[in-house]
Amino acid sequence: MPSEALPLVPRGTLPLTAKDFKSDQEVRWCPGCGDYAILAAVQGFMPELGLAKENIVFISGIGCSSRFPYYMNTYGMHSIHGRAPAIATGLASSRQDLSVWVVTGDGDALSIGGNHLIHALRRNVNLKILLFNNRIYGLTKGQYSPTSEVGKITKSTPMGSLDAPFNPVSLAIGAEASFVARTVDSDRKHLTEVLRQAAEHPGTALVEIYQNCNIFNDGAFEALKDKDQAQEAVIRLEHGHPIRFGADGEKGVIRNPLTGDLEVVAVTEENQDRILVHDAHTPSPTTAFALSRLADPDTLHHTPIGVFRSTERPVYDTLMSDQLETAVEQKGKGDLTTLLTGNDTWTVEEQERRVRGADH
């Protein structure tokens, strides 16, 4: 699947394997961390892109997940807390021949780096942002994060956290994101499929990956992983398909005609024609947003996973390049002497005599 989203990125000449994407650095996440599964999935998926490895760049911020670039045998930068989208924007907008990936976490992307994230999304820079959400601060040893549920007991909140969490998918849709998806670390197949669609998307793609921190927030997503619970908890979104879940698809999502909101119902003979058919490509973000609100933030029941939204709109880096080309078409390629000289000069002759307005 050579990506069409990156027409200017050179293709690789040799077929690559996951091994080619493993760096020589020892991976230093805690044993059992969900990050291992994500790393393996990304390394396994990269060869599919068919891109020249040297034209792939991973940029991260700070946090456990942000160590990711060290383990990828591509170009990479482990930057500053929260700033990876800004740095990646500079790289992507100056080098259209690169495939630029951002690896970030819930603290990195949504706390200190919230501003850069939303602006990257609204600009639609050609970045693939992988947001590892474990609903906790790991690297600083267990404080609550901006996605932690209210009342979270942590070292910094012994009586429970007070602030309402962000829903990263809702936030991204609200920030004009053109591609928003959610997946889970332990579901390699689903994760890979979502990455595939993100890679194909021209513009900014935000992929929220639910990731287990087995040290500070173990089991945070158990409701979505446990076989018994998952059927009731997980809603798999597939473009063009009715949104049904539960054992034998006994539950579905319909739009309440009075409020316009979405709700979960038991599917019956009478209502099955009203089950919402998922349309990820519709330009309006309304339904995607409503889908992002279905989940209960505490129990995670009715959590949709998959691609919420995938719509095409102009890509920032392409627009920026187009302006440079247009400028050359309109004014000709810049000539330094002409620029420096300007329109209003005078000349001082050797014999120390000024010629007024000689160069007008």
> Which residues sit at the interface with other proteins, rule CB under 8 A?
10, 23, 25, 52-57, 59, 62, 69-70, 72-80, 83, 86-95, 97-98, 115-116, 119, 320, 323-324, 326-328, 330-334, 336-337, 339-342, 344-350, 352-354, 356-357, 359-360
Q: Which is nearer to other proteins, 310 or 318 (CB)?
A: 318
> Residue 237 Cβ, how far from other proteins at the closest point, in Å?
30
Q: Which is nearer to other proteins, 89 or 161 (CB)?
A: 89
> Residue 145 Cβ, how far from other proteins at the closest point, in Å?
21
Q: Which is nearer to other proteins, 88 or 295 (CB)?
A: 88
> Residue 215 Cβ, how far from other proteins at the closest point, in Å?
20
Phi-psi region of 113 (alpha: psi -120 to 50; beta: other; left: phi over 0): alpha
Q: Which is nearer to other proteins, 78 or 196 (CB)?
A: 78
- For residue 175, give both structure tokens: 């920030």
User: Residues 284, 286, 287, 289: is their CA dihedral positive or negative?
Assistant: positive
319, 327 contact by CB (below 8 A) = no
181 has which bridge partners?
A: 207, 307
Q: Which is nearer to other proteins, 54 or 261 (CB)?
A: 54
Q: Which of 216-229 are b and which e, b meaning 16 or more Cβ less than 10 Å from the residue's Cβ? A: bbeebbebbbeeee
The DSSP symbol for 146 reads T
What is the spatial distance between Cα 305 and Cα 350, in angstroms, rounded to a whole number?
A: 77
Q: Which is nearer to other proteins, 163 or 322 (CB)?
A: 322
What is the number of alpha carbons within 13 Å of residue 225 lying toward its C-beta?
15
355 has which bridge partners?
A: 347
107, 84 contact by CB (below 8 A) = no
Phi-psi region of 264 (alpha: psi -120 to 50; beta: other; left: phi over 0): beta
> Residue 191 Cβ, how far from other proteins at the closest point, in Å?
23
> Residue 355 Cβ, how far from other proteins at the closest point, in Å?
9
> Residue 75 Cβ, how far from other proteins at the closest point, in Å?
4
> Residue 104 Cβ, how far from other proteins at the closest point, in Å?
13
User: First-to-last CA distance in the chain?
Assistant: 59
Q: What angle do CA 27, 84, 214 make, to 5 degrees?
A: 40
Q: Which is nearer to other proteins, 53 or 309 (CB)?
A: 53
